[in-house]
């Protein structure tokens, strides 16, 4: 039996915690700000409603074998008390977040724990504390190796697909190419995927992705020439009524993951001397839109 702490039980944290709890094979603690009695995940596979063992105080955190960090990327510093309490020699910190800087983001807080970066494909939305609506099956990609194999074993017998990649970096950059286009364009317009069929929007998406690909290649990612067309086709084939996490966060007035997505392209592009004007513009617009929505107060 593995001892697991899930830090950040929002959409992704809830969607991955529920199947682990449902196996009955693990000791799962939910590290939360607001406790709830039940963890509910509604998905195309059905409804899971499970007793939730929540802990709100890092000082009471018991040693664990696995820490699953599923906060937003910008919330890592806020999760530091949990990470300091849970990370130790022999534990593994799995980072289930967006972007391509998983290790760099958590290294200052990981202590002696091993870091395992995870690319998450799981369209889900938290609609209330402990209540998640998941719109498709989850797929998690980890680096191939001992830690990746052990992570996959945690989810044995569940519907969560675990892929182990010998080139995790390229997988992360391919997802970022999708995120730098779909997230901001939906969030800025306040419209679901149908907006990508509006005049000029597909070209804008392609421009954002071209910059991302150029920076990703400079970072060493293997990104095929066909990637642009593949991602655009995927975006345009998505049901028009579908949203994404950045749109949901924008509608709810929550802080946006701009820095981990488009901001990473701009920041790493500067390091390589690669111009990223479209991603820089999107970052400025997203930040300004949040300021406006908050009445100028962040």
pLDDT at 289: 82
| Segment 215-262, tens digit of pLDDT | 999 999 999 999 999 999 999 999 999 999 999 999 988 899 999 999
Cα dihedral 20/69/168/163 (nearest 10) = 10
pLDDT at 296: 39
Predicted TM-score (pTM) of the model is 0.94
pLDDT at 291: 60
CB of 32 closer than 8 Å to CB of 167:
no
- CA gap 9, 295 in Å, rounded: 28
- CA gap 7, 69 in Å, rounded: 5
pLDDT above 90 as % of the chain: 94
What is the rounded average pLDDT for all residues in the chain? 95
CB of 122 closer than 8 Å to CB of 138:
yes
pLDDT at 154: 98
Q: Of 224 and 290, which is predicted with more confidence?
A: 224
At 100 the three-state DSSP class reads coil
Catalytic site positions? 175
Instruction: Label residue 297 by pLDDT band (50, 70, 90).
Output: very low
- Identify the structural domains of the chain with CATH numbers, from first to last: 2-165 (3.40.50.720), 168-293 (1.10.1040.10)
Give yes or no for residue 96 having a pLDDT over 80. yes
Instruction: Label residue 214 by pLDDT band (50, 70, 90).
Output: very high
At 178 the three-state DSSP class reads helix
Give yes or no for residue 140 having a pLDDT over 50. yes
| Segment 104-121, tens digit of pLDDT | 999 999 999 999 999 999
pLDDT at 292: 53
Instruction: Label residue 295 by pLDDT band (50, 70, 90).
Output: very low
- Quick one: which H or E segment has residue 23? helix 11-23
- CA gap 122, 132 in Å, rounded: 11
């Amino acid at each position: 039996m593995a001892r697991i702490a899930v830090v950040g039980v929002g959409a992704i944290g809830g969607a991955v915690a529920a199947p682990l709890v449902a196996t009955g094979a693990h000791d799962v603690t939910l590290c939360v700000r607001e406790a709830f009695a039940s963890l509910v995940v509604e998905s195309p596979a059905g409804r899971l409603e499970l007793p939730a063992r929540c802990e709100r105080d890092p000082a009471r955190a018991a040693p664990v074998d696995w820490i699953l960090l599923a906060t937003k990327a910008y919330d890592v510093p806020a999760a530091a008390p949990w990470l300091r309490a849970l990370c130790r020699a022999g534990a593994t910190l799995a980072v289930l977040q967006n972007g391509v800087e998983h290790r760099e983001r958590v290294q200052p807080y990981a202590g002696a724990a091993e870091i395992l970066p995870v690319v998450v494909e799981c369209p889900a939305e938290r609609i209330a504390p402990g209540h998640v609506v998941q719109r498709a099956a989850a797929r998690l990609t980890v680096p191939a190796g001992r830690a990746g194999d052990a992570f996959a074993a945690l989810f044995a017998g569940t519907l969560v697909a675990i892929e182990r990649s010998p080139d995790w970096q390229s997988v992360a950059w391919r997802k970022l190419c999708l995120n730098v286009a779909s997230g901001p364009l939906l969030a800025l317009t306040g419209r679901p995927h149908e907006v990508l069929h509006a005049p000029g929007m597909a070209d804008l998406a392609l421009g954002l992705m071209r910059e991302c690909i150029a920076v990703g290649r400079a970072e060493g990612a293997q990104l095929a020439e066909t990637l642009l067309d593949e991602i655009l086709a995927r975006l345009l084939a998505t049901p028009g009524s579908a949203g994404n996490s950045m749109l949901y966060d924008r509608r709810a007035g929550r802080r946006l993951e701009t820095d981990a997505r488009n901001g990473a392209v701009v920041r790493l592009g500067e390091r390589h001397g690669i111009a990223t004007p479209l991603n820089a513009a999107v970052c400025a617009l997203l930040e300004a839109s949040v300021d406006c929505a908050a009445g100028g107060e962040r």
